[in-house]
Structure 1
Amino acid sequence: MCRQITFYITLIVEMCLLYGGSLDSKHLDEELSVIDVFDLTTPTTWKDLMDYYGAIEKHWRICVNCGIPTLGTAIHLEHAGSTGSMQPAVIPTEYLLTRLEVIDMTSLVKNHQSAVVTLDIALQWTALKYDPREPTLILFKFGWKRTIAYKRRCVCKIPGLSYELAEWIAANLSHVVGVATDAPSLESEQTREFTTRTVANVLGKSGIYMIENVNLRRKIPERGCMTIAMPLKMLSANYVPTRLTAFCPSQKTEQHVAIALKKASYTTQIVESRVYDVNLEEILN
């Protein structure tokens, strides 16, 4: 018999709601039942990904300031596909586990598919008035929906952010490490015609990454959630598919989901049996 004591990060099975005090197993079991897990990922096929990077290698004109719905949920820093852009592989891992703040703009864009979210409009939301204490991902929800008609097409008539709003986020919200949207791009009619005065450039130069084509088909709480962004670690790519998962309270509450460390001890038994022996010579012969 042997006994081990280990420390591990409780990511999914051991997610918990903080009570402002210490955690114990009783509270943990109770709180696991009130946490919802949301897959916020729109899938990307290998064919669509190869078509995109093939166009870059051939120096074809691609959607730099517009959006590509077929690429699904993806992450980038600065311009997607532009020369010299920073690559997602440089994003610190601790910035991919974040607090989530959702800003619902569906009513604004309901009758205007190319609406521009200006600074004065956005500042109505608490998430943009105060600097959060933890690394935070701000998600702009436009209610944008992808259809089969967008197959292999660039889309420009979509809602986006004004340059002034992106500049304000970069300058005033030091703990915001990422900005996301359910639309194919964060660029708006005000920024698409520029090469440097763009949302991607002002956010990227401040180290803020962008996630686009987020799947918001399910209703998600605007506050209290945490997200884990899992981009493909492609070293020579600046726009890569990303898995985005959110952990949220399943009921309205003032508490929020948080990641915790738990000390666990368990006992393992060494069983002396031929079943557990592996003889490579026997396998090879």
Structure 2
Amino acid sequence: MNKNALALTFLLQMSQVFYCIEDPDKIDVVDMTKPTTWRDLAIYYGAVEKHWKMCINCGVPDLGTGIHLEHTGSTGSMHPAVIPSEYLLSRLSIVDVSTLTTLNPSVVLTLDVALQWAALKHDPKEPTLLLFKFGWTEDNNNQINVGACVCKVPGLSYELAEWIAANLSHVVGVATDTPTFESEQTREFASRTVSNVLGRSGIYMIENVHFRRKMPEQGCMALAMPLKLLNAPYVPTRLTAFCPSTKSDLHVVMALKKEVPTQTRLPNSRVYDVNLDEILS
């Protein structure tokens, strides 16, 4: 076993007191991933390899939950394979703006409106994944015409993306339940996009997140598990949340603990009884 192997320790945090969780029922494990198929992956990556013209700014809902950095059409864009592993384990902060999309299905979340949420107004104290909940469902995918590259999808304003990149230094990633972060304000641009301003600041983006149930806006941890695929700007990923099972002020904490295993003797083995000096002499 690798001497640098890491083990996950689950804790609940309340004020400055840490409680080690031995009862798994106290933590809910929530899979927030939308699946994809090998056929859809083959079509997408085949088009990328052949340099076909693709509709990118409307997202790719058929690919399921995916992760990327800069705009997938940008020249020389960074790939998810470069994201440090420690950035994939983070505090989860949910920003529920679904009431806005009820009034306007293609709403652009502007900076002045977004600052009403404390999660966006103040820099978090630890590495955090901001998850925007627009209330997008599978039925909404019929609002996307990939062939004509026309869509009605809610998203972020460019100014809000700039704010996150410049002021929220502990935000390592952002996520959304929609197929794309691009809004009507940024969708038609090649460089002035949400993806570029966030990606160039080292903030990764996860799209097509699946809300299977109601979740607390604070108190959860998130673990992103992207496919380690080289030279690919957009790759499938799993997103798992770990939340307190009951409503409380407790926060789930996942700590990485380095373990140095001791070498154990194999049962009924004489490998340690052999004296090589005697044999060689």
Closer/same/farther in 2, CA of residues 231 and 149 from structure 1, 3 Å limit: closer
Q: How many angstroms apart in 1 are the aligned matches of 2:160 and 2:260?
A: 46
- State which of 16, 21, 29 in structure 2 corresponds to 1:28: 21
Asked if the contact 2:32/2:239 (under 8 Å) is kept, the reply is yes
Q: How many angstroms apart in 1 are the aligned matches of 2:46 and 2:75?
A: 15
> What are the Cα deviations for residues 4-33 of structure 1, in whole angstroms up to 9, with x where unaligned?
xx996443xx4221243355xxx5325x32
1:77 aligns with 2:69: yes
Compute the RMSD of aligned alpha carbons.
2.6
Q: Map 1:124-135 onto structure 2 (within 5 A).
A: 124-135=116-127
Q: Map 1:90-239 onto structure 2 (within 5 A).
A: 90-147=82-139, 150=142, 154=146, 156-239=151-234
Report the counterpart of residue 240 of structure 1 in structure 2.
Answer: 235
**Structure 1 position 71, deviation (Å):** 0.6
Closer/same/farther in 2, CA of residues 21 and 46 from structure 1, 3 Å limit: same
- State which of 262, 268, 272 in structure 1 corresponds to 2:268: 272
Q: How many angstroms apart in 1 are the aligned matches of 2:143 and 2:154?
A: 19
> What are the Cα deviations for residues 15-71 of structure 1, in whole angstroms up to 9, with x where unaligned?
221243355xxx5325x3221000010011111111111112222221221111111
Closer/same/farther in 2, CA of residues 148 and 197 from structure 1, 3 Å limit: closer
Instruction: State how many pairs are aligned.
Output: 263
Asked if the contact 1:81/1:239 (under 8 Å) is kept, the reply is no
User: Where do 4+ consecutive residues of structure 1 move more than 4 Å?
Assistant: 6-10, 148-153, 262-270
> What are the Cα deviations for residues 175-233 of structure 1, in whole angstroms up to 9, with x where unaligned?
10101100000000000011111100100110111000001131111101101101011
Report the AA paired with residue 88 of structure 1: P
**Structure 1 position 269, deviation (Å):** 7.2
Asked if the contact 2:143/2:153 (under 8 Å) is kept, the reply is no
Report the counterpart of residue 51 of structure 1 in structure 2.
Answer: 43
Q: How many angstroms apart in 1 are the aligned matches of 2:204 and 2:191?
A: 16
Q: How many angstroms apart in 1 are the aligned matches of 2:68 and 2:52?
A: 19
The answer to which of 228-237 and 253-262 deviates more is 253-262
- State which of 60, 83, 90 in structure 1 corresponds to 2:52: 60
Closer/same/farther in 2, CA of residues 46 and 82 from structure 1, 3 Å limit: farther
The answer to which of 195-204 and 254-263 deviates more is 254-263
Asked if the contact 1:77/1:88 (under 8 Å) is kept, the reply is yes
The answer to which of 253-262 and 63-72 deviates more is 253-262
If the length of structure 2 is used for normalisation, what is the TM-score? 0.85
Q: How many angstroms apart in 2 are the aligned matches of 1:93 and 1:170?
A: 20
Asked if the contact 2:136/2:177 (under 8 Å) is kept, the reply is yes
Q: How many angstroms apart in 1 are the aligned matches of 2:138 and 2:115?
A: 28
**Structure 1 position 117, deviation (Å):** 0.3
User: SS of the residue aligned with 2:103?
Assistant: coil
> What are the Cα deviations for residues 135-157 of structure 1, in whole angstroms up to 9, with x where unaligned?
11000001101149659953621
Q: How many angstroms apart in 1 are the aligned matches of 2:236 and 2:11?
A: 28
Identical aligned pairs, as a percentage?
62
Closer/same/farther in 2, CA of residues 251 and 8 from structure 1, 3 Å limit: farther
